[in-house]
């Protein structure tokens, strides 16, 4: 994991981990670690092909770590005191997982379409969606829900899966819409998009729990 993060990214991840352990417990941290492992495996999958497309992402920076993890870290910090934040925690991680897996695996689909106009675009275009990316994203979000139940973070398996899949789906498509409308025009960065998407996913999770 450390080799996939730069120095500052690793430092931020360690700080977030300490906050989560002392505020919510090791099990909550394990869910974040699961997201990281799945993300890194998806990133390395078909690395040569992604490089040929110019879509391979090397080491992640502190900006990547913060934009994908700060909302979940905040939710974990208060999750033990305010139950709905448990849903926010699940929603934020499910969104980050669905988005990352959907992007990293979805780029292999040769027929993506822009979410706002449905016109065909090149793989890796901001705001592009595909059948492959959507299915993988939903599966990734479901895995987060299943493991959240197994770790005892959410007592009901159906509730855990419903919260993770719905919030992950909504958050992931929010990411695509923001990418198509704003990131493509240079108005915001990918980190901004990721942060806003995880906020939306967390809000949906809070409302569903």
Helix (H/G/I), strand (E/B), else coil: 114: strand
What is the SS3 assignment for 124? coil
- Helix H, strand E, coil C: the string for 135-180 is HHHHHHHHHHHHHHHHCCCCCCHHHHHHHHHHHHHHHHHHHHHHHH
pLDDT along the chain (209 residues), means of 10: 68 90 92 92 80 67 87 86 84 96 91 94 91 96 98 94 98 96 94 96 95
pTM of the full structure: 0.92
Q: Which two tokens stand for residue 131?
A: 């059948």
Confidence (pLDDT) at 55: 62
The pLDDT score that the predictor gives to residue 59 is: 64
């Amino acid at each position: 994991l450390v080799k996939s993060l730069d120095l500052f990214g690793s430092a931020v991840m360690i700080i977030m981990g300490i906050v989560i352990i002392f505020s919510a417990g090791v099990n909550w941290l394990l869910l974040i670690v699961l997201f990281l492992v799945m993300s890194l495996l998806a990133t390395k999958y078909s690395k040569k092909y992604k490089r040929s497309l110019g879509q391979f992402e090397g080491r992640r920076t502190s900006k990547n770590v913060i934009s994908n993890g700060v909302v979940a870290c905040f939710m974990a910090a208060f999750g033990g005191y305010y139950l709905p934040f448990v849903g926010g925690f699940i929603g934020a991680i499910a969104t980050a997982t669905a988005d990352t897996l959907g992007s990293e695996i979805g780029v292999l689909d040769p027929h993506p379409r822009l979410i706002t106009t449905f016109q065909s675009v090149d793989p890796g275009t901001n705001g592009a969606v595909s059948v492959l990316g959507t299915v993988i994203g939903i599966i990734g979000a479901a895995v987060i829900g299943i493991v959240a139940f197994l770790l005892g973070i959410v007592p009901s398996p159906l509730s855990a899966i419903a919260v993770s899949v719905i919030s992950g789906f909504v958050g992931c498509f929010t990411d695509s819409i923001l990418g198509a409308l704003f990131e493509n025009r240079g108005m915001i960065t990918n980190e901004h998009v990721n942060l806003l998407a995880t906020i939306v996913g967390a809000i949906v999770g809070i409302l569903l729990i």
